[in-house]
Amino acid sequence: MVNLSDIQAARDVIAPDVRRTPMLRANALRDRGFTGDLVLKLESLQVSGSFKARGAINKLRSLTPDQLARGIITASGGNHGVAVAYAGYVAGVPTHVVLPRNVPPVKIDKLKRWGASVVLEGDVFDDAQRLALQIADQNGATYIHPFADPLIIAGQGTIGLEIIDDAPDVDTVVISIGGGGLIAGIGVALKALKPGIRVVGVEPTGAPTLKASIEAGELVTLDTITTKAGTLAPRRSAQINLDIIREVVDEIVLVSDDEMREAAHWLWFETGIGAELSGAASMAALLEHKFSTRADEKICVLVCGAGADGVAS
């Protein structure tokens, strides 16, 4: 499906167009019962505001001139759409993005500033994807899937290479889950480079798509989505993501919207990092003791998306 060589190749492909994001050592959380070392991987500082630019650029660079001439299209909960718009801007190709109606206006503004045309459809990502696929079929544009594509997964996996380069002694990496492309790619890289490392996934209680699928032993389509973290809220993942996650993720835990919001507040207060709800999900899992930790453990938390959910209060 996706292996370390794919991810290493993606690193070279995307290097001219994405940032190697920094890692920040955070204060120990002794008041929260954690005495180990904490480092934050700041994909919130990635071009376009989230990790999604990595996969989008890797996919874009695989397209033929004829495909590029016919344009690209995607559906998104927000961040992937912005990343695809950025990729389209880089390549100078027509770009179309279909979003659910509840996407924050700031993301729509970003899309338009990168030159993408925007269509709103439905209440969740799955609604937007149905329309995007119909449009792609009609106009011949290439559909860039947000998570169920080996090139997308490999692009996101480049984060894992950087984590091991910059923090080779890390014991546990905590990663939020939407459709599963991010954690699948990073997990492949981490387990290949350091087999004993622990990979913890984090989903919203209002959209436990992958946790439910793993527990069921097959892909599950959620009946409802109740989280406001729209970028972590597909009703259904895909087989490629489920298969990889089964192999490389040790545990999936759930956090509430309130817990994500509190974590976003903590990130802003302690570090000056502005994160959206989904961007703070992994931090919420650590703050709220959703998984066990050792006194001397070194943990890397991925802050995957910028936003202002922790800034207002």
Whole-number pLDDT of residue 77: 80
Whether residue 145 contacts residue 152, with contact meaning beta carbons closer than 8 Å, is answered with yes
How far is Cα 164 from Cα 158, in angstroms, rounded to an integer? 10
What residues contact residue 145 under an 8 Å CB cut-off, 6+ apart? Answer: 74, 152, 238
Whole-number pLDDT of residue 312: 63
- In SS3 terms, 145-199 reads as CCCCCHHHHHHHHHHHHHHHHHCCCCCEEEEECCCCHHHHHHHHHHHHHCCCCEE
Q: What is the pLDDT of residues 33-74, one digit of tens each?
A: 788 899 999 999 999 999 999 999 999 999 999 999 999 999
Q: How does DSSP classify residue 278?
A: G
Q: Answer yes or no: same fold for 4-51+150-303 and 53-143.
A: yes
How far is Cα 176 from Cα 168, in angstroms, rounded to an integer? 21
Take residue 78 and report the two structure tokens written for it: 């927000």
The most distant pair of C-alpha atoms in the chain lies apart, rounded to whole Å, by: 57
Range 4-51+150-303: architecture per CATH: 3-Layer(aba) Sandwich (3.40)
Whole-number pLDDT of residue 1: 86
pLDDT at 21 over 90: yes
Closest CA to 281 of 191, 207, 212: 207
Predicted confidence band at 313 (pLDDT cuts at 50, 70, 90)? low
Average pLDDT of the segment spanning 110-125 = 91
Take residue 13 and report the two structure tokens written for it: 């492909």
Closest CA to 100 of 232, 289, 7: 232
Range 53-143: architecture per CATH: 3-Layer(aba) Sandwich (3.40)
Q: What is the pLDDT of residues 139-197, one digit of tens each?
A: 999 999 999 999 999 999 999 999 999 999 999 999 999 999 999 999 999 999 999 99
Whole-number pLDDT of residue 107: 84
* Residue that wins the pLDDT comparison between 236 and 312: 236
pLDDT at 285 over 60: yes
Please report, for the chain, the start and end positions of each structural domain, with discontinuous segments joined by +: 4-51+150-303, 53-143
Whole-number pLDDT of residue 229: 93
Q: Which residues does residue 175 pair with via DSSP β-bridges, in sequence order?
A: 201
Q: How does DSSP classify residue 245?
A: H
